[in-house]
Structure 1
């Protein structure tokens, strides 16, 4: 398994609303079309109304690469870059036990 946590910081409420709309349209496609994407859950951050965090789990790194190569993902990321002030991705490795 391969997991990622990605934080997106947005500059204002309008950008946050556009981001949320984009997510609402994109996530169902990802879950329907990507067998190797096991979990793809966007979150709001308590106390930080302009922050979003995605938790993503993939079957393996190849499944993540397939996700990144998907045209819908490329369109999503292109638009996201126009909306956010920063993005931080953390690659996660599960602890044993």
Structure 2
């Protein structure tokens, strides 16, 4: 078993305008996330035929890396600002068992 720690998060936005503003918030937040060494993958997706939904996949080197991510000012700002754009948030915490990663990123 690998030490990777991941989240799958499903956000449903209020409407098209809220989705646009949420996307802008995520883009600003990514500027800081790109500098986090323990954040291996942080990707937002729009499901086919669900334009108001965003599904995030986040992969961290381990639980400590996730905690470091959560303590960053850019993450705290996103967590506090995002609710105004959303009608629901569903989070699944995942323990990695096996898979393929970018070269040099853990096991």
Specify which of 57, 64, 67 is matched with residue 65 of structure 1.
67
Cα distance in 1 between the residues matched to 2:40 and 2:24 = 22
Structure 1 counterpart of 2:39: 37
Aligned match of 1:74: 76
Higher helix share: 1
- Provide the aligned length of Structure 1 versus Structure 2: 96
* Structure with bigger gyration radius: 2
Deviation at 1:96, TM superposition (A): 4.5
User: Unpaired segments of 5 or more residues in structure 1?
Assistant: none
State the distance in 2 between where 1:28 and 1:35 align. 13
Tell me what 1:24 maps to.
Answer: 27
User: Which runs of structure 1 show a deviation greater than 4 angstroms over 4 or more consecutive aligned residues?
Assistant: none
More strand by share: 1
SS of the residue corresponding to residue 48 of structure 1 reads coil
Query: 1:39 Cα shift?
Result: 0.4
Question: What residue ranges of structure 2 are gaps of 5+ in the alignment?
Answer: 100-107
| Distance across 2 between alignment mates of 1:64 and 1:70 | 10
How large is the Cα RMSD of the aligned pairs?
A: 1.3
What's the TM-score once normalised by structure 2's chain length? 0.84
